[in-house]
Homo-oligomer: A and B are copies of this chain.
Amino acid sequence: MTKINENYRKLPGSYLFTEIARRVTAYGQKNPDKRLIRLGIGDVTRPLAPAVISAMHAAVDEMGTMEGFRGYGPEQGYDFLRQAIAEYDYQARGAEIAPDEIFISDGAKSDCGNIGDIFGVDNVVAVCDPVYPVYVDTNAMAGRAGEYSEAVGRWSNLVYMPCTAENGFAPALPESKVDLIYLCFPNNPTGAVATREQLQAWVDYAESRGAVILFDSAYEAFISDPSIPHSIFEIEGARRCAIEFRSFSKTAGFTGNRCAYTVVPRDLERGGASLNTLWNRRQTTKFNGVPYVVQRGAQAVYSDAGRAQVRETIGFYQNNARVIRAGLAGAGLTVSGGENSPYVWAKTPHGMGSWAFFDLLLQQAGVVTTPGAGFGPSGEGYIRLSAFGGAEDTAEAVERIRAVL
């Protein structure tokens, strides 16, 4: 009899977005005349940049001709894209990353999930709280998380690093022994960023203990403060202890176009094995590369026109973030994030629970947010608002919220 992976049985339901959808649907049925504004979901809304569109059309044309057709590409991605990334995203910022350390993929979610393949099941995993659920769920599937307790909303074998107002949403270095450390800056959901000094402390910590940092910088394009590093590889020593996940999803609006990349430095070894070699083996065995057309689109993000166009779109979203942040602060809420991030993290008023405040804003303002409790126990008492909507909608949502408060 075939045995299933028993770890799957331990997973709680994907409660958060299902429950939001249920409540939103119920509201819509009771209030068919009310127009909802959605600041909940972390998905972009602006079209792909003209430079990307042109490059994709040209690539589609190539694929329709005998001369231009491309079959299987390199599993690791085409050199033209790996080189552009190495040059613009790393070398331009003083981070020495070579093209063969960059693995193009269909998404940071895939890579964050699949990276566990190359690590043993007996590693101790540390995650922030609140946290992007993919880090947690994929480790639970692999058997690293232990047992889930509904009562405390935590897994028995994970080390949780609370990110709270008290520590400025900057997790403290773990006191217990950990082997794999997931960090995400700019953070989802809190919108917090890490300074150079904070990142150096993490790298030093990981290096001294032989731990590996899994660094998710999917939101780096939203950093406006020039002192904040965009990559862990801007930090001395990171090449020996870190893997970085990046994506075109939020940088260039590729959520529906699917392109990302993971950087595994050649200096990173554990147990005498090169993690670059292991990840290469994983990808060449279980993955067959990203569509040629999509990789040409991603390459165009680095053209002069592409960079200018993408920057303009990021600026559009950054302005939304400012509007949300200033509007809610002006209404008396305690807010953080939104300055170097597309997410604003707002404390609920009067000690209200996340879901209660979510309901209040849904029912009385017709605005959909995300309850912070859905990202982990330390998210209780917060909501997340996303800057990825339209400018008018965002302004109206903020006005409606202010009116309710």
Interface residues of A (CB under 8 A from B): 1-6, 8-9, 11, 14, 43-48, 50, 53, 56-57, 60-61, 63-66, 68-73, 106-107, 109-110, 113-114, 117-123, 134, 137-138, 141, 179-180, 209-212, 253, 255-258, 270-271, 273, 275, 278, 281-282, 284-294
Inside 8 A of A122's CB, which chain B residues have their CB? 3
Known A4-B278, A71-B43; judge A293-B53 contact (CB<8 A).
no
Inside 8 A of A110's CB, which chain B residues have their CB? 286-288
Among residues of B, the one whose C-beta sits closest to the C-beta of A65 is B47
A2 and B288 form a contact (CB under 8 A): no
Inside 8 A of A69's CB, which chain B residues have their CB? 45-48, 253, 256
A256 to B14, CA, bound (A): 33
Inside 8 A of A278's CB, which chain B residues have their CB? 4-5, 8
Distance in Å: Cβ of A7 to nearest Cβ of chain B: 9
Inside 8 A of A118's CB, which chain B residues have their CB? 4-5, 8
B57 and A44 form a contact (CB under 8 A): no
Among residues of B, the one whose C-beta sits closest to the C-beta of A285 is B137
Distance in Å: Cβ of A71 to nearest Cβ of chain B: 4
Partner of A292, one of B256, B286, B287: B256
Among residues of B, the one whose C-beta sits closest to the C-beta of A122 is B3
Partner of A72, one of B3, B68, B137, B255: B255
Inside 8 A of A66's CB, which chain B residues have their CB? 46-47
Partner of A180, one of B2, B71, B106: B2
Distance in Å: Cβ of A39 to nearest Cβ of chain B: 15
A281 to B18, CA, bound (A): 13
Inside 8 A of A68's CB, which chain B residues have their CB? 47
Inside 8 A of A293's CB, which chain B residues have their CB? 56, 60, 257, 291, 293-294
Among residues of B, the one whose C-beta sits closest to the C-beta of A105 is B106
B291 and A2 form a contact (CB under 8 A): no
A72 to B60, CA, bound (A): 21
Among residues of B, the one whose C-beta sits closest to the C-beta of A257 is B291
Inside 8 A of A285's CB, which chain B residues have their CB? 113, 134, 137-138, 141
